Structure formats: C-alpha cells, structure tokens
Amino acid sequence: MARKHKPRRWERSGPSGFVAVDKPQGWTSHDVVDAARRWFGTRQVGHLGTLDPLATGVLPLALRSATKLVPFLEGGEKGYVGTIRLGETTDTLDADGEVLCRHEGPLPEEAAVRDALGHFLGEIDQVPPMYSAVKQDGVPLHKLARQGREVERPPKRVRIDRLELRSFSAPDVDVEVACSAGTYVRVIASDLGVRLGCGGHLKNLCRTRSGPFTLEDAVTDKQLAAAAEMGEVDRFVIPPVEVLGFPVIQLDESDVTTVRHGGEIAALGPPQRPGSCIAALEPGGRLLAVMEVRPGRRLHPVRVLPPLAPQG
C-alpha cells in the first residue's frame, strides 16, 4: 500500500535575510518565531538568542536560507537596560516568579550598591537558573523546576564588560549591562542581592543590542503585522551581507558554478588573513556563499546558500 504524504505547507517566495523584532513583554521567543512565520509566509524562521517572556527588546530572526548563516552571528555582544528589585528573592530570579523571601532590615545605600556592582565586571562564573532552557540529560531545566526538582548545574564562564548604575531609588536599582552571549542578567540580579545581604530579583529587562542588531533597528510586532496585511513586510528584511560584516567579492558565472558545487576558487581582491571569512556574491548581487581564506590564496566555501525558489 502506497504511503500517504502530508501536503507540504505552501511557502511564499521572498527575500532571505534578517529582521530585528522588538519583542513585547509576555511573549516567548518561540511566540515571535511563530508570528514571523505568518508575517513572512515561510516556515524557515529561527531566532538568534532566547529572551525570557519578561524581557522586551531586540530579538533577531533569520529568514529562509539566512538560517544557514546563524552560526556566523552567534556569540556577539549583548546589551541590556533593566531594573533590579532589592529585598525580595523569587524562584525564577525575576518578577514572573513567586516571592520566596522578603528582607526585613534596612536596604543598602547607593555607595554599597555601586561597590557591589563592580565585583561582577570581567570574566565570572554563573550558575544557570533552574527556570531556563539549559538542558540536563536532554531535559530543559525549566521542566524539572516545574516538577519541583532542583539539580546541580555546572557554572558557566561569562564576561561582563560593563555594569553601570543608571539610577538608584530603593528598592530599585536601574542598571546598564554589556556582556557576552549566554549571560543571565537575572542571575546577576540574584547574585547582587546575595552580595548585599538583602536578596534581589530582576524586575524588568530590555535588550538593547544583540551582536550587530540594535534597538534602533528593531520593528514591533504591530508594525510587522500591519505591513504583512498590506503585503509590504519584506521591506523590513535586512540583507545578509549588511549583517555579516565580511569583506565582499563579486563572482563571475564560472566561479558561481564552481562554488555551488563545493569547489575552491582563487582568491579575489586584496589579500586576507588565512582563516578569515569572505562574502561571495552572485553577478546579480545576491549572497551565494561564505568563503574561508585558505593558504595559497584559495577560497573554500564553508556555507553555500541554495538557489532562489521559483516564483509561485
């Protein structure tokens, strides 16, 4: 008996690239991905770094074949502004959780807060929170936490480049953070409370930067939904070359054929350091591949994008 195949969902043709969404509070990162699939008419959508439901701000998305370029953009610096509430600890380390303890004594003065923040600068170890997407034996920690379980988590090395006090009005500490990818700002909030002896949690958070994407680049869900209704949503797609930041070369048709089949070509343009990456464009200007410079001025394709899907 012949197997029945489910009909493939229709995919709307459109540009590959990136869009920075200003994530609204209360949405999960997956909620944004699901909405983007509707807005742009494609199942090929991925995000570059999770944001907690509490947080707002920059959530970059990759669309269509640009999803293959995500590894080249992971690990970029993150920027945040947020508020830490002193005197209360919660089970999730943020305002979405249940209060576990309230500090009864006086709260620290601004000088003590400022001094404590300085101890978090540089490379530090963070223990991932139980309410997180980190997996233990293949199971996300947040699933274990909702079962009332707590397991030992190995600390993770992160880097805090800037942790500045923007304002202080007890019990709230407004901060600005620049840090490496993988840093949990709510862990900073909790650890700050421990250091000050009064407890603390993250009251609110906005991501202002994720790698090359800034809050000024970001588009709201309402803007995207309205543009999708009018058939104009593709204008928010940022071409991959503008995001990657690699030197650019233009290929001729013979080189396009070679690269598309995985072959190396002679290096074009000014000499580049071996191991560095080059963005190779087709004659029409579309990104064809990311090439790596090899010894002997050879360019090797490390990621080749598929050809454009036929219009339909």
Fold of the domain spanning 78-210? Pseudouridine synthase (3.30.2350)
**Would you list the DSSP string of 36-54?**
HHHHHT-S-EEESS---TT
pLDDT tens-digit map of 104-116: 999 999 999 999 9
Can you point out the beta strands (E) in the chain?
17-23, 45-47, 56-63, 78-86, 88-90, 99-102, 122-126, 135-136, 139-140, 156-169, 172-179, 200-210, 213-214, 219-220, 248-250, 265-266, 277-281, 287-294, 298-304
Q: List, by residue number, the catalytic residues.
A: 52
DSSP annotation of 272 reads: -
**Would you list the DSSP string of 127-174?**
PPPSSSS-EETTEEHHHHHHTT-------EEEEEEEEEEEEEETTEEE
Question: pTM for the whole thing?
Answer: 0.89
CATH topology identical between 17-75+213-240 and 78-210: yes
Mean pLDDT of the 285-289 span: 94
Return the domain boundaries, the chain: 17-75+213-240, 78-210, 246-304
Q: Is the pLDDT of residue 7 over 50?
A: no
- Greatest Cα pair distance in the chain: 77
Which of these ranges, 73-82, 86-95, 126-135, has the smallest mean pLDDT?
A: 126-135
Residue 132: which pLDDT band, with cuts at 50, 70 and 90? low
Q: Identify the CATH number of the domain defined by range 17-75+213-240.
A: 3.30.2350.10
- Angle formed by the axes of helices 221-229 and 29-40, nearest 10°: 20
Listed in sequence order, the residues at least 6 apart from 306 whose beta carbon sits closer than 8 Å to its beta carbon are 65
Q: What is the pLDDT of residue 222?
A: 98
Superfamily of domain 246-304: PUA domain (2.30.130.10)
